Amino acid sequence: MITNNELYGVLDPDSRDWTDGLLSKIFKECNRPKTDEDKAERRWILYDGDVDAVWVENMNSVMDDNRILTLANGDRIRLQKWCSMLFEVFDLQYASPATISRCGMVYVDPKNLGYRPFYTHWLKGKFNTYGETMHDSLKELFLKYVPPLIDRIFEGINGDEIVAVLNFITPRTDLNCVQQLCHLIDAILPDPESNPPQDVVELEKLYIFSLVWSMGGCITMEDREKFNQFITQVSQTLLPPNLYDNFYDPSSLNLDLWEKKVPAYEPPADKKFASILVPTVDTTRYSWLLNALLQNKRPVMFCGDSGTAKTVTVFSAFRQLDPEAYMFLSVNFSSRTTSKNFQDVVEENIDKKSLKSYGPKVLGKKMILFIDDLNMPVIDKYGTQQPNALLKFLVEKNQLYQRGGDLELRDIVDVQYVGCMSPPNGNNKVDPRLMSLYCVFNVT
């Protein structure tokens, strides 16, 4: 994401001027002597991202018995007893044995914790907002649908039979699917003051619709029929033959055809051929999903083969948003895009709001940052797509470190994230830790 010099600092060979790096600055701050006020304070330096031999070898003297970071200007900074370092990584494929032997390893298996704690925590929020009836209904629907669907999709368990698992267009975990389910329900449920549905019967169709576009939203076209059949089998109620062709109607608490929501065609005002967009069921469906999740402040990703009109659909959805409330920044990734290119584009379109907060230049507007061809950046020698590593930090933390200058940590406010990408292949796999931050839909 940043160079070795940007990380550790650089000494000018001619003037002998020293420029601090990001890590050297943070390391000094964390290991400064304590005062009486912070005597009991424990400090952590978290390295969130890929570990490779380029930068971590310079860290080895800190991790052995010396516990000293030596910089190019001769500074030697000791790692104090109240300060610890924590590496959070997807794998250690490119880490050297010297690194691995000096770190305590904790492998977090996805099956150990699972998806239930997240849903339980989410349910507590529904109890506080909507009351006990809504909480109990959502819990009952969860027990009816989610465990059987997770078993069918990821384990191939269909009742007493073992069948083929269902395939996603891009890798997803059971927790990703449950998170997307909760985000969709949040986006659909009306405000507590507007008398929302409460009991199981009233909520079931809403829940089924959310399941289709969370657990089934990223499933490949070939396996959608199997998913459709299984959810109908679990439901044991009368459902439409193809759930993907139906939307949830809050006025009737039922499922209805997307065809009824397709707007009439209107010729473009400028009469240019390139501006013509004929609304279809697909553009209507994906635009609705995108706008619903944007209103709920969730990142959205459309994944599909070339020619499936992902970008056109996204811009069609953007045109439905209030231009007085939103502005848009479109960034096209390519094989030559670097993390610095990406950061420069973002920083050119934001202004300082307060002490360390930065946001859209137009006061009162939110900015939607749209990344097209997110899978395109080249994978470096150590398996990292540099722009995507920076994007993960930006989406997850809503923060960016300044490059050069004071290296300040800036909070990025009033920015939402949308992306499009082609299905990952053997040569171009997008970091699953980045994809887990998005609600992902397969555009067929």
Residues 241 and 275 reside in one and the same domain: no
Which residue range(s) make up the domain with 53?
Answer: 4-107
Return the pLDDT at 69. Answer: 92
- Does residue 236 sit in the same domain as residue 276? no
Instruction: For residues 122 and 253, state if they share a domain.
Output: yes
**Mind listing the pLDDT tens digit for each residue in 132-164?**
999 999 999 999 999 999 999 999 999 889 999
Domain containing residue 443: CATH number: 3.40.50.300
Instruction: For 413-432, give one letter per residue: b (16+ CB within 10 A) or e.
Output: ebbbbbbbbbbbeeebebbe
Q: Which two tokens stand for residue 250?
A: 């809050």
* 132 and 198 fall within a common domain: yes
What integer pLDDT is reported at residue 427 of this predicted model? 67
Distances (CA, A) of 34 to 81, 235, 354: 11, 60, 29
Say if residues 418 and 278 touch (Cβ distance below 8 Å). no
Percent of the chain with pLDDT over 70: 99
> Which CATH number belongs to the domain containing residue 224 in this structure?
1.10.472.130
- Give the CA radius of gyration of the chain: 25
User: Do residues 284 and 176 share a domain?
Assistant: no
Looking at residue 355, what is its pLDDT? 85
C-alpha–C-alpha distance, residues 178 and 155, integer Å: 16
pLDDT band for 426, please (50, 70, 90 cuts): low
Q: How far apart are CA 53 and CA 59, in angstroms?
A: 10
Q: Do both 327 and 415 map to the same domain?
A: yes
Q: Which of 84, 107, 130 is the last residue of a domain?
A: 107
Q: Is the same domain home to 167 and 190?
A: yes
Angle in degrees, 0-180, between the axes of helices 174-188 and 281-295, rounded to the nearest 10: 90
As for how many domains the chain has, the answer is 3
**443 & 295 share domain:** yes
Beta strand ranges found along 155-234 (DSSP E):
157-158, 161-162
Residue 233's closest CA among 178, 151, 355? 151
Domain boundary among 245, 261, 277: 261
**Better-predicted residue by pLDDT, 278 or 342:** 342
Mind listing the pLDDT tens digit for each residue in 349-367?
Answer: 999 998 889 999 998 899 9
